[in-house]
Amino acid sequence: MSQVDYPFSFDNRGRTSDTTADDHIRDLIEQVLFTSPGERVNGPTFGCGLNQLVFAPNSLELAAATQFLVQGALQQWLGDLIVVDSVQVESVDATLRVTISYIVRRTQTRQTAVFTQGGGA
């Protein structure tokens, strides 16, 4: 069964773009990472607000806190879909790179997704 693609768009037939189940889960992870709490009217606690951390002072403490923040948000919002294996956070200048390894519960397949926010890449 196909899912609605994120970000919402139309395909070359003028219909709503769709995507595979695995890509849909990656899209959901992206939404959790880059949505700030308070941004959604009907879900005021949804998200982890990764965008706000791009300009925070770079430190080992910030990287560790971000790892816990991301892992907690993913477990809270997507825990019924995925099992988070690891979260790695790298911050270089104004670029934040987050690598997430997870297992899709439905298929028991291991996936890795990389998200970059900010200036460099």
Higher pLDDT residue, 23 or 100? Answer: 100
The class level of CATH for 3-118 reads alpha beta
- Would you state the pLDDT for residue 55? 65
Domain ranges of the chain: 3-118
SS3 52: helix
**pLDDT at 120 exceeding the cut of 80:** no
**Rounded to whole angstroms, what are the CA distances from 42 to 31, 50, 82?**
15, 20, 23
Q: 50 forms bridges with which residues in the sheet? A: none
**Per-residue pLDDT reduced to its tens digit, 1-21:** 677 777 677 888 888 787 788
Residue 121: pLDDT band with limits 50, 70, 90: very low
Global pTM value = 0.81
